[in-house]
């Protein structure tokens, strides 16, 4: 397949997937709004920990004020909306286990390429529909933020969120490909979900954990975009983090391709 034909196929996949997702636009909007409801719990929780709910308080824990903790959780929800890939790993594992993977092998469609553009369509529709709920929630919680970051920081945050999407996709697809060797991976995926929630910084900022945790790639799924948005990185540090993240993405991409190729060598198309 020529490069032009390949892009034409992916463009059709993107259009078809977006049309499918737009059928559930109301569900996207309501789901996004309800997803922010736990922030109420976080507001009172950290207010109790700090002993105050005054956003102007200078008291700090792990370098964060009370207002910054709440703002961090808001940004973590935004970052996770980019990096989360619900059902990707389990879907790949199911295709391998049930033999439906062969639908990609008998057609001129690359499985990982198809799944990538399917997820791109999902995220595009999600943010088109969820923009208003996001604006409402962030506007109501505007007092918790220290203010607008400078333009270069905004560019860094946007780049980090986009790369978090790539990182999340590549990690989850790699986990799904393990099913070439293990028929049942649901327990492994559950363990990963728990560790990911903790090690990505979605639960608490990684500043509160041992420093070695920041050497893992999971921090780019939530922690790094949040810390950038709160102005915790200098411009030089932002550039360094984005460079390291790009290296992780390149390594994960190679690992996906290598594992997929190795898995196909021993793949048996069991099932219907």
Asked if 76 and 155 count as a contact pair (C-beta separation under 8 A), the reply is no
Looking at the whole model, is its pTM more than 0.75? yes
In whole numbers, what is the pLDDT of the chain averaged over residues? Answer: 84
Domain count within the chain: 1
Residue 3 pLDDT level (bands cut at 50, 70, 90): low
- Residue 5 counted as domain residue: no
In sequence order, the 6+-apart residues with CB closer than 8 A to the CB of 84 are 168
Residue 6 pLDDT level (bands cut at 50, 70, 90): low
In this prediction, residue 20 carries a pLDDT of: 64
CA gap 266, 270 in Å, rounded: 12
In sequence order, the 6+-apart residues with CB closer than 8 A to the CB of 200 are 80, 83, 218, 219, 221, 222, 223
- Residue 12 counted as domain residue: no
Residue 234 pLDDT level (bands cut at 50, 70, 90): very high
Asked if 33 and 140 count as a contact pair (C-beta separation under 8 A), the reply is no
- Residue 2 counted as domain residue: no
Assigned token pair, 192: 């990963």
Domain that includes residue 111, residue range:
18-264
- Residue 272 counted as domain residue: no
CA gap 181, 58 in Å, rounded: 53
Residue 268 pLDDT greater than 50, yes or no: yes
- Residue 182 counted as domain residue: yes
Asked if 205 and 72 count as a contact pair (C-beta separation under 8 A), the reply is yes
Secondary structure (DSSP) of 194-217? HHHHHHTTSSS-GGGS-GGGGGSG
- Residue 1 counted as domain residue: no
- Residue 10 counted as domain residue: no
Residue 272 pLDDT level (bands cut at 50, 70, 90): very low
């Amino acid at each position: 397949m020529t490069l032009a034909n390949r892009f034409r196929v992916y463009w059709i996949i993107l259009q078809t997937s977006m049309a499918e997702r737009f059928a559930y636009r109301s569900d996207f909007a309501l789901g996004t709004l309800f997803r922010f409801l736990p922030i109420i719990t976080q507001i009172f929780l950290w207010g109790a920990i700090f002993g105050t709910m005054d956003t102007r308080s200078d008291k700090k824990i792990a370098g964060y004020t009370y207002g910054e903790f709440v703002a961090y959780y808001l940004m973590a929800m935004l970052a996770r909306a980019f990096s989360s890939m619900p059902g990707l790993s389990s879907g790949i594992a199911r295709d391998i286990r049930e033999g439906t993977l062969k639908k990609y092998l008998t057609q001129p469609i690359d499985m990982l390429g198809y799944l990538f553009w399917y997820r791109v369509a999902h995220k595009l529709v999600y943010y088109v529909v969820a923009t208003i709920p996001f604006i409402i929630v962030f506007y109501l919680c505007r007092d918790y933020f220290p203010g607008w970051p400078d333009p270069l920081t905004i560019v860094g945050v946007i780049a980090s969120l986009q790369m978090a999407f790539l990182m999340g996709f590549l990690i989850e697809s790699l986990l799904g490909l393990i099913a070439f060797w293990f028929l049942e991976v649901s327990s492994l995926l559950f363990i990963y979900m728990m560790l990911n929630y903790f090690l990505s910084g979605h639960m608490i900022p990684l500043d509160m954990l041992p420093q070695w945790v920041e050497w893992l790639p999971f921090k780019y799924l939530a922690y790094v975009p949040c810390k950038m948005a709160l102005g915790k990185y200098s411009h030089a540090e932002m550039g360094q983090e984005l460079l390291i993240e790009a290296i992780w993405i390149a390594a994960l991409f190679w690992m996906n391709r290598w594992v997929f190729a190795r898995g196909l060598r021993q793949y048996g198309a069991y099932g219907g």
